Chains A and B, each alone.
Chain A
Amino acid sequence: MAATPPEQRIWWNEPIERVELIWIFIAFLWGLFMFGFMIAWHFIGQQNLSKEAYRIAPTAYEQKVENFAKQFQVREEQGIPVVKPKPGADVYLLARLWQWWPILELEKGQSYRIHLSSIDWQHGFSLQPTNINIQVHPGYEHVISLTPTESGAFGIVCNEFCGIGHHTMTGKIYVTDKKQAAADQRLAEQR
């Protein structure tokens, strides 16, 4: 019994059941495959989280975001600037209690270098309903090359608990498809 000492003193000399051996072999191969697939996705996949990150003081980041917003602001919504950067540009998004700032307007099929950081506590960048979820730290500036593949209005929800107003912490990204045909072609090439 499993609750009593093994009958054979030297239990490691016991034979292994064949069914066990086969299962161990299958489990091992499956593990190897899953390991390999993560590496492979860096080559065949279009969704790999960037490792580009920098240390930055929260105040310095706040300054960068404000400059960025001033430069590209096109209008205002609920007192928050709506910012439309050029395709390929560096885009700054700031997380703070309890807001994602500013509102972004991007173009479908265009790639942007999105910078993410917080100026106070940890927050969670959760783009909805496109389910992309990234952790946001104070003191670390994370840069992600992002290409929207659909147009419309998207929500950013904070999904790292950040205090009593956590559930009010939302943001917005608009994706327009003015250059629809060109965007579709570029996407098709990238896929």
Chain B
Amino acid sequence: MTAETVIGAVGRQAEFRTCQYTGLKVDTAAQTLIKANAVAAVVFLAIGGLMGLLVALTRWPAVHLLPADWFYLILTGHGANVLLFWIIFFEIAVLYFASAVLLNCRLATPKLAWLGFVLMVVGALMTNVTVLQGDSSVMFTSYPPMQAKPNFYLGIVLFAVGALIGCIIFFATLVIAKEEGTYEGSIPLVTFGALTAAIIAVFTIATGAIILIPTWLWSLGLISDIDPLMYKVVWWAMGHSSQQINVSAHVSLWYLIGALLVGAKPLSEKVSRTAFLMYILFLQLASAHHLLAEPGLDASWKIVNTSYMMYLAVMGSMIHGLTVPGSIEAAQRRNGFNRGVFEWLRKAPWGNPAFSGMFLSLIFFGFIGGISGVVLGTEQLNVLMHNTIYVPGHFHGTVVAGTTLAFMAATYLVLPLIFQREIVWPKLAKIQPYLFGIGAAGISLFMMGAGTLGVARRHWDITFSDANLSFAYSAGAFLMMGLNGIFAVIAAIGGIIFVLVVVGTVLFGEKIESGHKLTFPLHSGGGAVASHYGSEGTVKLPGTIILVGIFFVCFVLYYFINWKYLSELWLFR
């Protein structure tokens, strides 16, 4: 390992090493920060994931593990830990990687970055402690007039301030890289995707501050009243866009993993980048998608916000849904797997957990998370599934089978490239994305199924045994909830293996000293091989065309099936 000291034209001295696999210059301060954020992310994934398993085991009617008060407490903790803390710590690591490392640049103000990190850790711990103390089981959405203890909100606010600092450092690093000329031409596509994520993050955090700071003051008794509808409108401007940070981040990682493992190059930079831009321009509006069953909001407001603009953002995702597998097919055909329609896919590195995780994330995000999101976000169809367990079914398709799986896949690259450790227990690592991915896809689908049959979300007892007026869901609903429990166990096994492999690798993985072949190899010279592929007229992507064709047919069929369900309901207007 050669660490060279470079004195920057301005600012601090930065220490760099050269990555022996990618040739990139790595700022060691950035590297340490990436490690810290990634480790914190995995810690909160472990906590939040365990809570998720407890939730699923309680909702499995035959098991019904936790008592009611504990169930609501753990469900609140589950949401905060996985949806906020795991994902955003990891995203900060992605931002530092996509700026400092990919641009061969020093990270702007590492000291401030550490302050941000400490704020995030303190905030996350404060919220966790407050939730575990009880009296703050208000769920992730924390709708007033239901009230949590002040530290619940304060913890989230501190965490968000820390994350905001991370975003600012990312922007500053881009500026430094441009000024110091550490790269030529435009920023890479992956950095571009990270940039969209960071821009959306700033908007998200600003709206979060607008709503959570008054709510915190209200919990302290300094403000007398928070209007519940106003709260929801503003809260969802944060709540929904925060999920678009994830989408931008994990789509960036799809491109990154495609590039590093098979040498994939975007079919055309223009299309892929425009698709990212659509996220910035249109995704924010999609937050109305959570307000379709509210009183007092106009139908035209709902249609414009959730639909027209949102479909342009959906179009962004549909474009990535073509260009990501398309770029992989193009690269694989260049790599020599050119026989038939699907040899490129069959001979893809399925044994490499970074690839299998990435590709499963792509499929599940599109087919489960994407399609269900559009259906759920349709003005009238929403009445069928608002606040049923279909909603968590949908977002487990996006955030677990999509984002979390993609982040796990990326971790298999972070470990050798940033931690410089050889991955321990490669056989376990190989099966991990399959277990976790299939488990996550299963829970998403079965929750969607149960929601279609009416099962409420955030509900301790679907038998209503303590209720004054009895009611029973159909046997099908019970079956779905049982299957949900079984697949949650499968996903949890995948999650536990992930944590074990990461912790084992960080602590005991063989230190990578010289440029030996990795257990899970990167594509050798992939960039060069694929660099001339992709200009107009040369691309033949029959496999990808068939895949997106299947996707489109599923999308259209499922959309109309739900209109059919809707047309059979009681009449209302």
Contacts and interface: CB of A to CB of B under 8 A. Distances in A.
Nearest to B566: A47
Contacts of A39: 303
Interface stretch (B166-174, B241-249, B255-263, B509-517): B255-263
Contacts of A103: 469
A2 B265 contact: yes
A170 B573 contact: no
Contacts of B456: 124, 126, 157-159
B132 interface: no
B311 interface: yes
B15 interface: no
B139 interface: yes
Contacts of A124: 386-387, 456
Contacts of A51: 296-299
Majority DSSP secondary structure for residues of A touching B: mixed
A41 B383 CA distance: 13
Contacts of B386: 124, 133-135, 159
- Interface size band for A: 35 or more
Interface in B290-316: 292-299, 303, 307-308, 311-312, 314-315
Contacts of B264: 1-2
B218 interface: no
A140 B233 CA distance: 15
B271 A17 contact: yes
- Count chain B CB atoms within 10 A of each CB in A16, A80, A130 and give the residue with the most: A16
Nearest to A3: B259
Interface string A1-27: 111111111011111111110011011
B454 A131 contact: yes
A146 B298 CA distance: 19
Nearest to B293: A135
Given A121-B145, A170-B464, A157 B188 contact: no
Contacts of A137: 228-229, 294-296
Interface string A69-99: 0000000011010000000000000000001
Contact of A2 (B189, B311, B474): B189
A185 B266 CA distance: 60
B271 A11 contact: no
Given A11-B270, A139-B227, A126 B454 contact: yes
9 interchain residue pairs of minimum CB distance: A31-B311, A155-B471, A142-B295, A159-B456, A2-B255, A15-B536, A11-B269, A53-B296, A53-B295
15 contacts: A1-B259, A5-B188, A9-B184, A15-B268, A19-B322, A20-B326, A103-B469, A122-B146, A132-B572, A135-B295, A140-B296, A155-B471, A164-B69, A164-B72, A168-B464
